[in-house]
Amino acid sequence: MSTKNPFDPAHMTDNVKEQAQQIWLAGLGAFSKAQQEGTKAFEKLVTDGMTMQRKVQQTASEKLAEATEKATMAAHTLNERATGQWDKLENIFEDRVAKALHRMGMPSAQDLQDLQARIAALEAQLGGKATATKKTAAKPKPAAAKK
């Protein structure tokens, strides 16, 4: 039986070769593990990124819908105010025109309606006399013969 001397140069070379081989294999193992872990980590980051993107898009859609609703409500309120102001302005204009026409002696629409109602009532009282008078007034009178 021969025992190897740890200080024997041949034994040291074998030992160094064996250790170098183990270091090499450990390095390859670490590289392989890093690749596997790196791929897994990359896939996890992609999955997390997709989840985050969906959340951001959902939040953005909600904020956009909220802003659209607020803008629509503001436009509706503004439209109601403007319409109310135009109605007021129209009423003021109509009142002023009516007053100006009244000062000039022009009858109002109500005055004309009242007058038409009185004429209709008078025609009803006269009955057929009014109708006959209208027909006679409508007929042309014969021209007088020339002498």
Which pLDDT tens digit goes with each residue over 111-123? 899 999 999 999 9
Q: Is residue 139 part of a domain?
A: no
77 and 69 Cβ atoms separated by less than 8 Å = no
Q: Average pLDDT over the chain, rounded to whole?
A: 82
Longest dimension (CA), the chain: 182
Residues 84 and 31 occupy one common structural domain: yes
Residue 115 sits in the same domain as residue 98: no
Same domain, 64 and 114: no
Domain-embedded: residue 46: yes
> Looking at residues 26-49, what average pLDDT do you find?
83
- How large is the average pLDDT for residues 10-31? 82
- Find, among 122, 138, 139, 140, the residue nearest to 130 by Cα: 122
Question: Which residues span the domain enclosing 123?
Answer: 109-134
Supply 83's token pair.
Answer: 């319409």
pLDDT for res 147:
45
Instruction: Specify if 3 maps to a domain.
Output: no
Are 64 and 57 contacting, i.e. CB atoms less than 8 angstroms apart?
A: no
- Is the same domain home to 64 and 127? no
The pLDDT tens digits for 47-85 are 988 999 999 999 999 999 999 999 999 999 988 888 888
Same structural domain, 97 and 118: no
Residues 55 and 81 in one domain: yes
The answer, yes or no, to whether residue 132 has pLDDT greater than 70, is no
Query: What is each CA distance from 104 to 2, 96, 99, 114, in whole angstroms?
Result: 144, 12, 9, 19
Residues near 98 by Cβ (< 8 Å), separated by ≥ 6? Answer: 108
